[in-house]
Chain A
Amino acid sequence: MSKIEKWLETNTFHYSEFWDILALVREKEKKGLTLSLCIPTLNEEKTIGKEIVIFRSELMERYPLFDEIAVIDSGSTDQTREVAKSFGADVYLASDILPEEGDKRGKGENLWKAIHQLRGDIICYVDADIKNIHPRFAYGLIAPLIYNDTIQYVKAFYDRPLAFSQGIRPSGGGRVTEILVRPLFSLFFPELTALIQPLSGEYAVRREVLEKVPFPIGYGVETSHILDVYNEYGLDAFGQTDLDQRVHRNQTTLALGKMSFGILQTFLRRMHAFGMFDKLPELETVYRQFQVQESRYEQVTFDIVEEERRPMIEVPAYREKFYGKK
């Protein structure tokens, strides 16, 4: 069994494994952990109320899993902060946190400032635009960190369509993951292709990791986290949880282009920081995608060798035919 296969076996979860929230609360208390839920927002008045109500009811009132639920807002011009506050969330304006560090605009800024503002030993980040919000979006990510001390960083992935006619089906991430990030990982960090959706906006991380990594404030934050945590701790520090379906706004291709540009900047900056520009590794030719058989995730590998032909002008027969000389 390869390292990736072993990791998929031991560090990939389905949220339903953690249905017993009471047991989770007991384990959290036994380990003396404090947990924070952070929702970064910018103009999310339509979805934020429901998220707060459901998380507060299910994971604070009924089961005291989280010690705080906080909204870190980038300066919404709609009712986001008012709605969140009315349903009992702790609401902070990102610009009010660490004002001496300045104010930058972007999701990564909110995530970074949350580390200073919130008190949890583990912070769980959940996006605010999830239409089908459910407690699993938080407890499914927190649980592997509570039960397994070696895991530092748990990513969400979304899968399991309601109906699929054949035994094996393809799986994977969104368009930017499959077109940009997975090919880059396959080339330079093959082990990281084990992450099914490296760009998902929901993840839970231990404070001691969060406080040591830099935060791009824009599109590259997830990519940079993964590369930095991998560089420091290796693949075993990661976990990933299948949270079933996520319903959210679809982005236009143009928006995904901007996102890809930001991610690529981050990726290349990391390669530079890791000293990989001067000594590029032997380029991998194995490309890795995913499929699911029953509930097992398997990598599918393709050997893609991009052979090249020289310019036609260098071929003697061509030169003789068109230019009369060898």
Chain B
Amino acid sequence: MPKKNQDILNLIPDPSQIESLKEVILANAVMCGEIPSPTFEEGQRLVFMRDRFTEAGMEHVSVDEKDNVAAILPGSSGERRILLSANLDTIHYAGADHAMTLGPDSITGRGICENSLGLGVLSSLPFVLERLGVQLKSDLLLVGTSQSIGVGNLGGIRFFLDNYPNEIDFGICLRAAQLGRLSYASLGMLRGEVQIEVPETYDWKRLPEGSAIIILNRLITQLQAIPLPSNPVTTINLGSVFAGNTFGMAAPTASLRFEVRSEEEDRTEWIEDQIQEIVEELAAENEVKVSLKVVARRNRGGISFSHPLVKTTRTVIESLGVRQIIAPSTGELCALIDKEIPAVTVGLTQGEHLHDRNETIKISPIYQGVAQLIGLLRAIDGGFCDE
């Protein structure tokens, strides 16, 4: 093993040291996760995070006008500034049961995977570093970001990065799952919704053409006919449909939510143009209202596979003995990439049933996940990731 790699591995704490602090990490993840936090309604959860940052004695604890919560854990010299982020918002509506259940080696509950564990680790980090006796030279900028997912379109982190006055040298985005994950690039991505409305004055004797579901069916058929290159990989995912009200009435409205992803520069824009043409054609041919609304976009980009930050992260992940999962991101990493900040997204444990009511994570891999994070922070702090 090259000496540099061995030096990096020496920076990773023994996971058993993290295990001895598990109560604080798990309690933060669970208490944070039991506070409902749908996108645009992150207020209560950010108060929890703000209080944790304040109690940890962090500096410049603040909540901005987009409801991001941020604080600085100052390093001994502040020669580098490392941003760590986890999103505050979830897909679950406020009235849903957010109670968590702890088993001997698992936590189950809405949003624990996406992304209460990330927040739990973020809020526990000052405590963990103190207990491990880790003193970094770099300043750590911890940020709980609002409006990240779905129609939030990374509004929180983009606002924070646009308005944070100082330079940020590196970024690490925390996700609960999967341990071994490494993202260092973002895909081109576009999320959209097509709405179909049949006017009240429609001639209903023309059934079944009068049903918005029939128009939706034509839309889906035409979307599937759009030619997609298999290399560079490009996909159109049909995510969800809503249509109609009951058995005996033609559906007056229908909608489709979809996501386009592509590894190719400008491919998503080309597909957007294709979809727009289909939408206009359907509206004209069927005398109904059809509209396309783009709710989120990501630019393709990222650092290279050979960037020292990527190499170091791979070295750290390999030492965990888990399978590396290298995948592009559509999350907060994209906002950091847009600002040309070298950044990665890492996973903290194993999880399943993502976005379901029974989202579940395993507890024991968290100790490795947090050890990985601290190893990576110390490596960045020690200059191993500088270009």
Contact = CB atoms under 8 A, between A and B. Distances in A.
Interface of A: 45-47, 49-50, 53-54, 56-58, 60-62, 79, 82-83, 86-88, 131-132, 134, 247
Interface in B23-62: 23-24, 26-28, 30-31, 34, 55
Contact of A53 (B27, B99, B127): B27
B104 interface: yes
B102 interface: yes
Contacts of A87: 22-23, 26, 102
B321 interface: no
Nearest to A21: B55
B99 A247 contact: yes
B248 interface: no
B101 A46 contact: yes
Contact of B99 (A45, A62, A83, A131): A131
B99 A82 contact: no
B103 to A, nearest CB: 6
B100 interface: yes
- Top 9 closest pairs, chain A to chain B, by CB: A49-B102, A57-B27, A57-B23, A56-B23, A50-B102, A57-B24, A53-B26, A54-B27, A131-B99
A281 B377 CA distance: 74
Given A61-B23, A62-B24, A132-B99, A53 B104 contact: no
Nearest to B55: A62
A260 to B, nearest CB: 29
Contacts, number: 53
Contact of B30 (A54, A61, A79): A54
Interface residues of B, number: 19
11 contacts: A47-B101, A53-B22, A53-B23, A54-B31, A57-B26, A57-B27, A57-B28, A61-B24, A79-B103, A83-B102, A87-B26
A26 to B, nearest CB: 15
Given A54-B27, A57-B23, 18 more contacts: A46-B101, A49-B101, A49-B102, A49-B103, A50-B100, A54-B30, A54-B31, A56-B23, A56-B27, A58-B27, A60-B23, A62-B24, A62-B127, A79-B104, A82-B104, A87-B26, A87-B102, A132-B34
A49 B104 contact: yes
Contacts of B22: 53, 87
A57 B21 CA distance: 9
Nearest to B52: A62
Nearest to A49: B102
Nearest to A50: B102
B3 to A, nearest CB: 38
B98 to A, nearest CB: 9
A67 to B, nearest CB: 16
A50 B34 CA distance: 11
Contacts of A132: 34, 99
B362 to A, nearest CB: 13
Contacts of A131: 99
A86 B104 contact: yes
Contacts of B24: 57, 61-62
Nearest to B131: A61
B367 to A, nearest CB: 13
Nearest to A57: B27
A87 B21 CA distance: 11
A24 B367 CA distance: 32
A83 B103 contact: yes
Contacts of A46: 101
A47 B30 CA distance: 12
A272 B93 CA distance: 55
A46 B22 CA distance: 19
Contacts of B99: 131-132, 247
Contact of B101 (A50, A54, A62, A82): A50
B104 A83 contact: yes
Contacts of B30: 50, 53-54
B57 to A, nearest CB: 12
Contacts of B28: 57
A119 B251 CA distance: 69
A88 B23 contact: yes
A62 B101 CA distance: 22
A49 B24 CA distance: 13
A222 B160 CA distance: 54
A56 B26 CA distance: 11
Contacts of B105: 86
A56 B22 CA distance: 10
B216 to A, nearest CB: 39
The listed residue with most A CB atoms (<10 A of its CB), out of B27, B31, B55, B104, is: B27
A46 B99 CA distance: 11
Nearest to A88: B23
A139 to B, nearest CB: 14
Contacts of A50: 30, 100-102
A205 to B, nearest CB: 26
The listed residue with most A CB atoms (<10 A of its CB), out of B23, B26, B55, is: B23
Contacts of A57: 23-24, 26-28
Interface string B94-121: 0000011111110000000000000000
Contacts of B127: 62
Contacts of A56: 23, 27
Contacts of B31: 54, 134
The listed residue with most A CB atoms (<10 A of its CB), out of B30, B31, B102, is: B102
